[in-house]
A and B are shown apart, each in its own frame.
Chain A
Amino acid sequence: MKELLIFIRKEFLHVFRDRKTLLMLFGLPIAQIVLFGFALSNEIKNSRIAVVDYSKDAVTQRMIEKIGNSPYFNIQRTLASADDIHSAFKKGNLKVAVIFPASFGDDLMHTGKATMQVIADASDPNQATTITNYLNQIVADFNGELAAGGGQPMQIVPSMTMMYNPELRGAPNFVPGVMALVLMLVCTMMTSVAIVREKELGTMEILLVSPFKPVYIIISKLAPNLLISVVNLCIILLLSDWFLDLRVKGSLLLLVTGSVLFILTCLSIGLLLSINAKTQQAAMMGSMMGMMLPTMLLTGFLFPIENMPLALQVLSNIVPSRWYFIIIKRVMLKGLGIGAVWQEMLILTGMCVLLFTISLKKFKIRLQ
């Protein structure tokens, strides 16, 4: 019994003397509570909603006012016509649109029932469901008000159209997210571990003391991972097609180009991580903690970015997967072309070039 206690005491000593691990052991839970408790939530506030009122009567005005007063919605006054709305949906700037047909007021007066058209962007089915539920709630409230007002029974009936994903399948949302996550993990972890392995085994020493140019070391470490990632990409796309019935609506070439850009960016992150890591274990930890967590939380497929505190929103801008996610969704799910994603592609290119430049400069050509 005493021996057991002695051993346990020793283990405690080991743990407390390892500052880095300690930071992770205590820092991580605290960070997570703060993040999940305050910053990330499934509640969706301030969703951008467009309202087109062809009827323009007292009821629609009241309805629009109610929607406007709700904390869940943020009416985009600049989107007034159907065309505007369509392009806004495509760009992903609009979550939901409400259209009151011209006959709305009349229908309500004469038949006691009027249809309000609701179009929601269902590429994230969970979001779409939540948002339309809010709307339904508002409509139900309003219906209650109308009934309480006495007189003939009047009821507004929302008619839902789920765009891009009428069956509200989860796949269209999580497949792009998984793609981003998998490619990110594979590229950063495999690259950083491969480079650090040479350092750990000592073969890096011999390579350095040779005419072999350090830049060749880098290229040779990146090349297999690039190839493997592209193959992975193809496998994911094929599997999505066969098993999940998720096809690439847009240009495959565009998707692959965007993916290769993203892969290259991730490879350069792996390279950067390998520079300071001394052991393979440290490289792996760095990839996981440093990249997986932000990717999962700040890409936008688990938690909507628009609802995060400003600080996190700004932070999400430097997470490459966030931009890749947008590209995939627009090209794969919405079938859009280069016009819709050129900005995101440019951002990724910029990140890629910047990261490569930094890591090439910092790559150690000596042991210290």
Chain B
Amino acid sequence: MISLEKITKTYNKGQVLAVKDISFTVERGELFGLIGPDGAGKTTLFRILTTLLLADSGRAVVNGFDVVKDFEKIRESVGYMPGRFSLYQDLTIEENLQFFATVFGTTIKENYHLIKDIYQQIEPFKDRRAGKLSGGMKQKLALSCALIHKPAVLFLDEPTTGVDVVSRKEFWEMLGRLKAEGITILVSTPYMDEAKLCDRIALIQKGNILSIDTPEGIVGQFPGVLYGVTAEDTHRLLREVRAYPGTKSCFAFGDALHVTFVSGGEGELLAWLKGKGLGDAKVERIEPGIEDVFIHLLKD
């Protein structure tokens, strides 16, 4: 459904590298996540795929159409939600939706069933101006406008950034339901925890793809065994575990430290920590998460 082949893009006459030699495919009906921090190149890729930017080199095909030669056909058949809220602030919710429905040659009624789940949540406010909506509501409106013409492919560029935790959760539930309708979805996010909700993900950093696989597959890439270390005084624990000679890597993950060993193991670490006054420390083997893998890949 979507395929990229060695896409490279620079800005400022070659001075700034945005993405380099990016290649991957997204199957029909897949929910594919592009995971990476700001500046990784996610928005650049989205803009190339939605034909808003021309790549320096490489090929890309969306829904069977080439992004350069047949860009008009792509523009007629995809739904796009850009990185920041870009609907008309001084039009109401309903007016915005109507406008986009008309632009795509359809009406709200025609595809209402598709956006019903999402739109119903904001419909009570349909006469409110878009500029006065909360982050979560704006997001729902933008999604509705992108879906109203029943696109074959949906491009969502960081749809959950800056939105509160509750709305974020709801949003991903909506995406799951859309996937069930057979729409191919390419979504980007800097939040690693959202990654596990996708069918497959690509980890991207500084214009390069670090890895592409299913979430489980990515997690499986973690080399060695991962341990979670906890103690009452997390701050001191961090210092001491880093100082421990057998520690290979040690990163804070909320109330636990994720640790790998180069030598020694659970028992030895516990003894060491006890000697440092952290007798309440606990060490247990844990399953790595996507963020663990990301950090590991970043270090290389």
User: What residue in chain B is nearest A212 (Cβ atoms)?
Assistant: B103
A211 touching B75, Cβ below 8 Å: yes
Contact count band on A: 10 to 19
B53 touching A205, Cβ below 8 Å: no
| Cβ contacts under 8 Å, A210 to chain B | 75-76, 100, 103-104
User: Which residue of B72, B75, B86, B100 contacts A202 across the interface (Cβ within 8 Å)?
Assistant: B86
In the complex, what's the smallest C-beta–C-beta distance from B106 to chain A, in angstroms? 10
User: Which residue of A202, A209, A366, A368 contacts B78 across the interface (Cβ within 8 Å)?
Assistant: A209
- Give the docked Cα–Cα distance between A211 and B84 (Å): 21
B256 in the interface (beta carbon within 8 A): no
A211 touching B105, Cβ below 8 Å: yes
The interface on chain B, measured as residues whose beta carbon lies within 8 A of the other chain's beta carbons, has a size of 23
One of B44-52, B159-167, B220-228 at the interface:
B44-52
- Give the docked Cα–Cα distance between A368 and B89 (Å): 24
B52 touching A208, Cβ below 8 Å: yes
Q: Given A206-B80, A209-B51, A366-B53, A201–B100 Cβ distance below 8 Å?
A: no
B191 in the interface (beta carbon within 8 A): no
B103 touching A211, Cβ below 8 Å: yes
Q: Given A209-B51, A209-B75, A203–B87 Cβ distance below 8 Å?
A: yes
| Cβ contacts under 8 Å, B105 to chain A | 211
| Cβ contacts under 8 Å, B135 to chain A | none
A211 touching B104, Cβ below 8 Å: yes
Q: Given A202-B82, A203-B86, A211–B76 Cβ distance below 8 Å?
A: yes
Q: Using a CB-CB cutoff of 8 Å, which residues 78-109 of chain B contact chain A?
A: 78, 80, 82, 84-89, 100, 103-105
A208 touching B54, Cβ below 8 Å: no
Beyond A201-B86, A203-B86, A366-B51, 11 additional pairs, beta carbon < 8 A: A202-B85, A203-B87, A206-B80, A206-B87, A208-B75, A209-B80, A210-B100, A210-B103, A210-B104, A212-B103, A366-B53
- B interface residues (Cβ-Cβ under 8 A, vs A): 47, 50-54, 72, 75-76, 78, 80, 82, 84-89, 100, 103-105, 145
The 7 closest A-B pairs by CB, nearest first: A202-B86, A211-B76, A209-B80, A367-B52, A212-B103, A209-B50, A205-B82
